[in-house]
Amino acid sequence: MAKDNKKRKNNKHDENLSTEAPHILDFSNYKMITSIEDKAENKKFEMLKIGINKYYEVEIPKNVKKYGNITIPNNSEDKDEKDEKDESFNKKIILDDFKDEMSKYALKNINNIKSDILTNISMNLASNLKNKVTGRKTIYVTENIPLMGHTAFGVIDRGTNIIQVRGHSGCNIRCPFCSVDEGTPSKSRINDYYVDIDHLINTFERVVGYKGNNKLEAHLDGQGEPMLYHPLPELVERLNDVVSKGSGIVSIQSNGVNLSYKLIDELEEAGLHRINLSINAMDEKFSKGLSGKKTYNIEKIKEMAEYVKNSKIHLLIAPLLLPGYNDEEFRKVIDYAVDLQNRIPQNTINPITNKLNPILGVQLCLTYQFGRKVPNMKIWDFKKFYELLNTLENEYTKQGFDVHLKTPLKYYGSRPMRRIPCPFSLNETVENVKVVAEGRIFGEVIGIARDRVIQIINCKNTEKLLGNTVNVKIHRVKDNVIVATLC
């Protein structure tokens, strides 16, 4: 497994400077290893749980025959405390049998054990990575899988200056209306993806290189909760390093559940320009219902929203109207956003528009093929939605407030821009597509050809296809999102 050679601010550890005794293996230098825990379900199958990028894990055998007796230092801090201070997670393994052994032979053995553990982690990363939040198998996407072509991960260019960046899939809540059927349980989503940060940045830079680095917005969104990418501040900082050269910005979509004071501080320092916060109800019970989680805490999210308001990160509140279902609560969210803006006005100027951003980005709940549906919600068209928004705007005007609820994308500085060409055409037959991974939903596998990933749908026996080459017929090429079926 590659050691992290980048000397970033947060990576204070240096193996060569370690003063630890040789029998204490310290994995702090391997940035993706974020915790090590004991998993002793029974004596026969003692395993080590290796936390990968905070929200993922692999398990490797606690090989007593090879490693001798192992102790894992205890994390005494309580969980919340640990979540705030990522550094406090244990990243060490103590080889008890080598405690008093300092011979050359013992040192060689210790090194062998360390590389054996690292090899084991690498192998499991490729085939047994699990998302701790969703419980799903996760495909760790590295440079051998291109990052354009799929909607669940990678980079999407829809021909504007907004480039969508999707570092992972998977969500920590389960909204009953979710367009992408995220969170657990999910009827349709069977696998998650995590993209290696260097690969993501390289692809992003290539896309920027083609489009021209002129007032771009790197927008972190996706099929899941973008705040669950780790290391998020580093991702924001590196994207910002790129787009800020062309007076661009980095923004993120979020349900707010994972926000903490520490994360907001880090994101502010990393140069995040805007958070689009999805809040759909103010009432405690109602908001829990609309999040699908009993643990959802609207008061905590409000606290975090205030903290963002007091930072340089622009806060945009993005409530969703589920007609006939949350009408009153939708209205209350708008009231909340207006009140918050009056109490804590922000002066962060969007360098793309040279103006302040809108404070509200209201949305209409729609139904999607693979999305979830709230049974008693009415289906509205946009005409009806805009009529309601006009009425609400007029009501606010009467009360003396200038509230804009119709906020076309151009208010955020969105404009058409040349797009990355698509190497496929509709209905084309493509030969020798290599099947490299399992798909996001049942009956799907992921193929690669011409520097794109192809979502190959409606497959039977997906396991048998893995590692093989197939011929496919292309059914979708729009926005370089490639969908195909087997020929």
**Residues making contact with ligand SF4 (CB under 6 A):** 171, 173-175, 178, 180, 182-183, 224-225, 255
Which of the stretches 11-19, 143-151, 247-255, 398-406 binds ligand SAM when contact is defined by CB under 6 A?
247-255
- In the list ligand SF4, ligand SAM, none, the entry touching 174 (Cβ below 5 to 8 angstroms by class) is ligand SF4
Q: Identify whether the C-beta of residue 141 lies closer than 8 Å to the C-beta of residue 199.
A: yes
Given 3-state DSSP classes, what are the helix, strand and coil percentages for the chain, each rounded to the nearest 5?
Answer: 30, 25, 45
Residues ≥6 apart with Cβ < 8 Å to 268: 311, 312, 313
Should residue 180 be labelled a site residue for ligand SAM when binding is judged by CB under 6 A?
Answer: yes
120 or 255, CB closer to ligand SF4?
A: 255
Residue 194 and residue 129 in contact, taking contact as beta carbons nearer than 8 Å: yes
Closest CA to 243 of 265, 277, 222, 220: 220
Q: For residues 102 and 23, give the distance between their C-alpha atoms in angstroms, rounded to a whole number.
A: 9
As measured in angstroms, the least distance from the Cβ of 1 to ligand SAM is 30
Task: Give the contact letters, 344-363, x = binds to ligand SAM (CB under 6 A), - = no.
Answer: -------------------x
Distance CA 25, CA 41 (A): 23
Shortest distance, position 177 Cβ to ligand SAM, whole Å: 5
**Rule CB under 6 A: is residue 366 a binding residue for ligand SAM?**
yes
Closest separation in Å from C-beta 83 to ligand SAM: 19
Strand 130-131 vs strand 56-61: parallel, antiparallel, or unpaired?
Answer: antiparallel
287 scored as a contact of ligand SAM (CB under 6 A): no
Whether the Cβ atoms of residue 460 and residue 423 lie closer than 8 Å to each other: no
Closest Cα to residue 446, out of 417, 423, 468?
468
Residue 170 or 447 having the CB closest to ligand SAM? 170
Q: Of 170 and 271, which has the nearer Cβ to ligand SAM?
A: 170
Q: How far is the CB of 254 from ligand SAM (least distance, A)?
A: 5
* Residue selected from 131, 278, 287, 326 as contacting ligand SAM according to rule CB under 6 A: 278
Shortest Cβ distance from residue 182 to ligand SF4 (Å)? 4
Q: Following DSSP, what letter does each residue of 6-54 receive, concatenated?
A: ---TT----GGG--S-TTEEE-TTSTTEEEEEEEESSSTTEEEEEEETT
Shortest distance in whole angstroms from residue 168 CB to ligand SAM: 11
Number of residues that bind ligand SAM (CB under 6 A): 18
Q: Does 259 bind ligand SAM (CB under 6 A)?
A: no
CB of 50 or CB of 282, closer to ligand SAM = 282
Alpha helix (H) residue ranges in 212-326:
232-243, 261-270, 284-291, 298-309
Query: Using CB under 6 A as the criterion, what x/- string covers residues 307-336 for binding ligand SAM?
Result: -----------x-x----------------
Per CB under 6 A, which of residues 203..232 are in contact with ligand SAM? 221, 225
Cβ-Cβ contacts under 8 Å for 293 (sequence gap 6 or more) = 172, 173, 174, 183
Q: Which residue lies nearer to ligand SAM by CB, 62 or 166?
A: 166
Is residue 171 near ligand SAM by the rule CB under 6 A?
Answer: yes
Return d(Cα 272, Cα 313) in angstroms, integer: 6
Out of 161, 169, 186, 253, the only residue in the binding site for ligand SAM (CB under 6 A) is: 253
Instruction: Give Cβ neighbours of residue 413 (< 8 Å, ≥ 6 apart).
Output: 161, 215, 217, 350, 352, 353
